[in-house]
A and B are shown apart, each in its own frame.
Chain A
Amino acid sequence: KNQVEQSPQSLIILEGKNCTLQCNYTVSPFSNLRWYKQDTGRGPVSLTIMTFSENTKSNGRYTATLDADTKQSSLHITASQLSDSASYICVVSDNNAGNMLTFGGGTRLMVKP
């Protein structure tokens, strides 16, 4: 069964600090991996997408990495801001017909002033 596990479940950091969120998956065959940001009370918004051949992708202060051999991804946030407080969801797509998505449970990040 396809699974996506994220850690930590929640994280509190001080404004200006960096942090790294982890995602491990067992989805096969793998197609791509996305990181979404979900603000409280809102729908998720796509941050990055990586295919099998890509091992890093940046979007401003967000940098995602992918190791397809170990089936791990990380999302690194640099110089955190209060507006980074949100849930971050790792989503993996399989390469079967339909490209079904498997969602991780998310990491809830709080950035404190």
Chain B
Amino acid sequence: DVKVTQSSRYLVKRTGEKVFLECVQDMDHENMFWYRQDPGLGLRLIYFSYDVKMKEKGDIPEGYSVSREKKERFSLILESASTNQTSMYLCASSLVGQESETQETQYFGPGTRLLVL
């Protein structure tokens, strides 16, 4: 079974703090993703990475950065947390497309619920 873990389930930070959210997957997946999930808005893609040291902006990258130094680890960084970044953050990973039913299926971590005061 694919396992995607996130460093914290719940996090409380103050405005202006630097915040690190860590994600680790154990299935040697090439692709990794960071989403935020807000009520009524569904999941929105922040950043993704298709290889070590590679990163691409998603739909809402502003205020965030990412780091992929190792294949299994993808970090989301809030340089200066703001209250509008209070959200549920979900990490996911997937294989590069294969000719199978699970092609590109993303496997999600349990989520980190971040509250910025």
Residues of A within 8 A of B4 (CB): 43
Would you call the interface of chain B mostly helix, strand, loop, or mixed?
loop
Instruction: List A5-43 residues whose CB lies under 8 Å from chain B.
Output: 32, 34, 36, 41-43
A-B pairs under 8 A by CB, number: 45
Which of under 10, 10 to 19, 20 to 34, or 35 or more describes the interface residues of B? 20 to 34
Would you call the interface of chain A mostly helix, strand, loop, or mixed?
strand
Assess whether B90 is in contact with A43, with CB atoms less than 8 Å apart.
yes
Assess whether A41 is in contact with B111, with CB atoms less than 8 Å apart.
yes
CB of B92 within 8 A of chain A? yes
User: Bound complex: CA of A99 vs CA of B95, how far in Å?
Assistant: 12
Residues of A within 8 A of B40 (CB): 105
List 13 additional A-B contacts (Cβ < 8 Å) besides A34-B105, A49-B105, A89-B42: A32-B103, A36-B108, A41-B113, A42-B110, A42-B111, A43-B111, A44-B43, A46-B105, A49-B101, A49-B102, A99-B104, A103-B43, A105-B40
